[in-house]
Amino acid sequence: MIEHRRPHVLLVDDEIGTIELLGAVLQRQGFQIDLARTTAAAIALLRTKTFDAVVTDVVFDGRDEGQEVLSACRDLAPSTVVMLMTGHPALSGAVSAIKLGAVDYLQKPVDPVLLAARIHRAVRERQMGSPDDLNYKDLVNILSDLVAQTIERVDPYTAGHGERTRNYCRQIAEKLGLDKRTVERLELAAIAHDYGKIYLDDLSFLTKKGPLTPNEYREVQRHPEVGANKLGTNPHLVEACRYVAEHHERWDGTGYPRRLRGSAISEAGRILCLVEVFDSLTTRRSYKNPWDLQKTLDFFESQTGRAFEPEVLDIFLRLLEVHGPEWLSAPQRDLIAAGVIQAPDAQPAS
Ligand SMILES: [Fe+2]
């Protein structure tokens, strides 16, 4: 599976204000950041640290030195993603940079939210590895992407929802001490939990503005069990299908479709239910703005022993103390990367 540690990014520019601003926003988006004001300082850092991505200016004090950083990356850290940014765009420069291995060539001023989305996507693609070493991990990630894209096709605002849900579920499950086998099946369920949506008779209301009619609500409540039935009968999927079927059940019996209560819901299902609610509340939809951190915390703190199991909720709230800003900014990042919404005050960036 994809590693979920914070991606490490090196920003290189002689205009310190530029990289301090970009760095501050990228940190809030979940990146670990190092800054370098000169190509020499950047190359020294490349010798001592490992970076997932390097974003470098091209012209330093009037000299065209960006290519030196690019060359150093190629020699010292060939798996690192390199992006160039410049205030003096020239097609020939872009072409030669791409030939030398840069994955992107950005025009200044670079919008930091868009940059974050591009880095995430490039790092993720790089993590998929080369076509020659397809392994089990690659296969799971490729199929996860296919399932996610299928669901996003009928509901574009779910872009990235499956992968984020998978990540947060795994972290809660590991803190709760669930065994590796259960965690793996929970991850599968997290990726596919809304799969049943694509089989609903009427898909138009998934993206409508405003509340659902009673008939539409009844229709949407079918998706957990439809999804569980459609995922297949492979023996490895038995538990994952159960978790999918349970992902809208609530600890206090107020969920759907079967109004299960307490321990009648699997432990993994209780985790998936909480994470699904969290990511939905904090994601922009066609009919609502995302909740901020304080509103989200107030809501979940008020729900202990009600909608969510107390122990799962307690672990989640402790994780939110650490990852709150990163987890709340992730949906916007993914929606921008998928082209569903535009970066705020987006600047042309290539
Ligand atoms: Fe759902």
CATH code of the domain in which 287 resides: 1.10.3210.10
The answer to whether residues 118 and 141 belong to one domain is no
Residue 220 has pLDDT above 80, yes or no: yes
- Distance (Å, whole) CA 143 – CA 150: 11
- Mean residue pLDDT of the chain comes to 86
CA of 110 to the centre of ligand 1 (A): 36
Neighbouring residues of the ion ligand 1, judged by CB less than 5 Å: 194
- Distance (Å, whole) CA 94 – CA 228: 48
Share of the chain above pLDDT 90, in %: 44
CA of 195 to the centre of ligand 1 (A): 8
Place of tokens 């993590």: 127
Whether residue 80 lies inside any domain: the answer is yes
CA of 320 to the centre of ligand 1 (A): 22
Whether residue 143 lies inside any domain: the answer is yes
CA of 227 to the centre of ligand 1 (A): 9
CA of 204 to the centre of ligand 1 (A): 16
What mean pLDDT is predicted for residues 81-92?
Answer: 76
* Single residue among 127, 153, 174 that ends a domain in this structure: 127
Listed residue (231, 277, 227, 274) closest to 251, CA to CA: 274
The answer to whether residues 214 and 234 belong to one domain is yes
**Between these two residues, 255 and 116, which has the higher pLDDT value?**
255
| Helix axes of 161-176 and 180-192: crossing angle, nearest 10 degrees | 160
The answer to whether residues 148 and 94 belong to one domain is no
- Distance (Å, whole) CA 44 – CA 336: 34
- Distance (Å, whole) CA 334 – CA 25: 15
Side chain identity at 39, as an amino acid letter? T
N-terminal to C-terminal alpha carbon distance within the chain? 31
**Between these two residues, 210 and 252, which has the higher pLDDT value?**
252
The answer to whether residues 32 and 141 belong to one domain is no
CA of 229 to the centre of ligand 1 (A): 14
- Domain residue limits at 200: 133-337
pTM of model > 0.95? no
Where does residue 110 rank: exposed (0-12), middle (13-18), buried (19+ CB within 10 A)? buried
CA of 182 to the centre of ligand 1 (A): 20
3-state secondary structure of 337: helix
Residue 348 has pLDDT above 50, yes or no: no
DSSP β-bridge partners for residue 9:
33, 53
The answer to whether residues 140 and 253 belong to one domain is yes
Residue 315 has pLDDT above 50, yes or no: yes
Residue 53 has pLDDT above 70, yes or no: yes
- Give 154-211 pLDDT, tens digit per residue: 888 888 899 899 999 999 999 999 999 999 999 999 999 999 999 988 777 777 777 8
CA of 170 to the centre of ligand 1 (A): 18
* Single residue among 106, 127, 148 that ends a domain in this structure: 127
Whether residue 63 lies inside any domain: the answer is yes
The answer to whether residues 103 and 174 belong to one domain is no
Residue 180's Cβ-side half-sphere holds a number of Cα atoms within 13 Å equal to: 1
* Single residue among 99, 127, 155 that ends a domain in this structure: 127
pLDDT of residue 85: 86
Cis? peptide before 325, omega within 30° of 0: no
The answer to whether residues 153 and 279 belong to one domain is yes
Place of tokens 């409540």: 221
CA of 312 to the centre of ligand 1 (A): 19
CA of 248 to the centre of ligand 1 (A): 6
Residue 273 has pLDDT above 60, yes or no: yes
CA of 1 to the centre of ligand 1 (A): 23
Per the CB < 8 A criterion, the answer to whether 268 and 176 are in contact is no
Q: Where are the beta strands (DSSP E) in the chain?
A: 8-12, 32-36, 53-57, 59-60, 63-64, 81-86, 104-107
pLDDT of residue 1: 38
CA of 101 to the centre of ligand 1 (A): 41
Query: What number of H helices and E strands is found in the chain?
Result: 14, 7
CA of 212 to the centre of ligand 1 (A): 15
What mean pLDDT is predicted for residues 95-123?
Answer: 81
The answer to whether residues 208 and 108 belong to one domain is no
pLDDT of residue 4: 52
Whether residue 302 lies inside any domain: the answer is yes
CA of 258 to the centre of ligand 1 (A): 14
Lowest-pLDDT range of 9-18, 78-87, 97-106, 298-307 = 97-106
- Between the alpha carbon of residue 51 and those of residues 11, 81, 185, 334, the distances in Å are 10, 8, 31, 22
Residue 3 has pLDDT above 80, yes or no: no
CA of 284 to the centre of ligand 1 (A): 16
Whether residue 346 lies inside any domain: the answer is no
- Give 230-241 pLDDT, tens digit per residue: 998 888 899 999
pLDDT category at 94 given cuts 50, 70, 90 is low
What mean pLDDT is predicted for residues 253-274?
Answer: 97
DSSP β-bridge partners for residue 82:
54
CA of 199 to the centre of ligand 1 (A): 13
Residue 61 belongs to domain with CATH number: 3.40.50.2300
- Give 12-45 pLDDT, tens digit per residue: 999 899 899 999 989 888 899 999 999 999 999 9
CA of 219 to the centre of ligand 1 (A): 12
Structure token digits, residue 88:
């003096």
What mean pLDDT is predicted for residues 93-106?
Answer: 72
Whether residue 2 lies inside any domain: the answer is no
The answer to whether residues 188 and 215 belong to one domain is yes
Whether residue 66 lies inside any domain: the answer is yes
The answer to whether residues 165 and 311 belong to one domain is yes
CA of 243 to the centre of ligand 1 (A): 11
State how many domains the chain has.
2
The answer to whether residues 60 and 155 belong to one domain is no
CA of 164 to the centre of ligand 1 (A): 14
Whether residue 61 lies inside any domain: the answer is yes
Per the CB < 8 A criterion, the answer to whether 200 and 223 are in contact is yes
CA of 159 to the centre of ligand 1 (A): 14
pLDDT of residue 170: 95
Residue 314 has pLDDT above 90, yes or no: yes
Lowest-pLDDT range of 2-6, 22-26, 101-105, 238-242 = 2-6
The answer to whether residues 148 and 115 belong to one domain is no
